[in-house]
Amino acid sequence: MNDQNKTNKQNNKIRRFLSLLTMDTKELIRSKWTLFYFLTFSIISVGIIFSGEASEIYGFSGISKFIASLVNISFLLIPIFSLGPSSISISGMRENLSLEYMLSFPVTKKEIYLSKFLSIFLVSISTLFFVLFIALSFFRFREVDTKIITAFLFILLLSFVFISIGFLISVLSKTKSSAIALSLFVWFIIIIGGELGTLGFISVSKIPEISFFPIIFLNPAETFRVAVIAIFSSSLDILGPFGIYIYSKLGKSLIPISALLMSIYGFLTLVIGYKLFSMQKVSTDIIRRR
């Protein structure tokens, strides 16, 4: 009898979470942000495809050219599109008091947090898979190799990392406006400041060569950029002396190491965000029903 009760409670918990996930996903799909995200990547992808199927850029053509171009675009766009909805997920609920309302039902903070995260991540990767499907269909699924698949997986990892960062921002922010402002600041520091500052700092400083590793790998965007260059290139000479040094020490192991570091960065940030969220007190006069 006890086992049956436990099973029923578990089933009810799963159904409750799936209902919450479905509700969050539908709400996200109807949002203008998701529509803008979808249209932006779709239009850019179609533009890349029709920019010249037979033309070659830096040795890339066909689907390889498309993925290489998508990687460059993703480096700038995916972080901002990932930070946008994730940074206002919890802060938005806190501002409009829907968080207090949801917690008046038999729903836990963990379920709310995971539901919000999964809905944003699923919508994000669905858009990217749709874009990839368009490209593969145009090229009739030719020339698909491990490089193409690996590069696309890194694009998904980049989305995962910045959605996780967005959730940490959302937990730390009291209002949507402050969350958006903080996410734009983080985007600028990591993407723009990271790209320009990293190269500039290494160029003008006389730091030991071993210091190149933490400078690169502490920034998830730089880790992504170095890894995808290594996927399509036999060296990192395009990044200058520090790129050559890193590749000489790590070689092709740079790719799995980068994937592991980005995964750890994303999971760690997501967990920290949840821990902080779980410790925050929710002020409400609504009597919680048990």
Which DSSP string corresponds to 67-88?
A: HHHHHHHHHHHHHHHHHHHHHT
- Top-confidence residue, 183 or 151: 183
Q: State the residue range of the domain holding 113.
A: 2-279
The answer to whether residue 286 sits within a structural domain is no
Note the pLDDT of residue 87.
92
The answer to whether residue 288 sits within a structural domain is no
- Top-confidence residue, 144 or 253: 253
Confidence of residue 30 (pLDDT cuts 50, 70, 90): confident
Note the pLDDT of residue 195.
63
The answer to whether residue 287 sits within a structural domain is no
Give, in order, the Cα–Cα distances in Å from 244 to each of 22, 60, 230, 235, 261. Answer: 47, 21, 11, 7, 20
- Using DSSP, how many helices (H) and how many strands (E) does the chain show? 13, 0
Confidence check: pLDDT of 2 > 70: no
- Top-confidence residue, 249 or 262: 262
The answer to whether residue 49 sits within a structural domain is yes
Lowest-confidence pick of 84-93, 188-197, 219-228: 188-197
Note the pLDDT of residue 190.
86
- Top-confidence residue, 30 or 54: 30
Tell me which residue has tokens 């578990």.
10
The answer to whether residue 174 sits within a structural domain is yes
User: What SS3 class is residue 57?
Assistant: strand
The answer to whether residue 68 sits within a structural domain is yes
Tokens describing residue 209: 């060569």
| Span 218-229, average pLDDT | 85
| Span 227-235, average pLDDT | 78
- Top-confidence residue, 88 or 285: 88
The answer to whether residue 290 sits within a structural domain is no
Specify the number of domains making up the chain: 1
The candidate with the shortest Cα–Cα distance to 131, out of 224, 64, 257, 39, is 39
Note the pLDDT of residue 149.
84
Confidence check: pLDDT of 114 > 90: yes
Mean pLDDT across the chain: 79
The answer to whether residue 284 sits within a structural domain is no
Distance between CA atoms of residues 1 and 3, nearest Å: 5
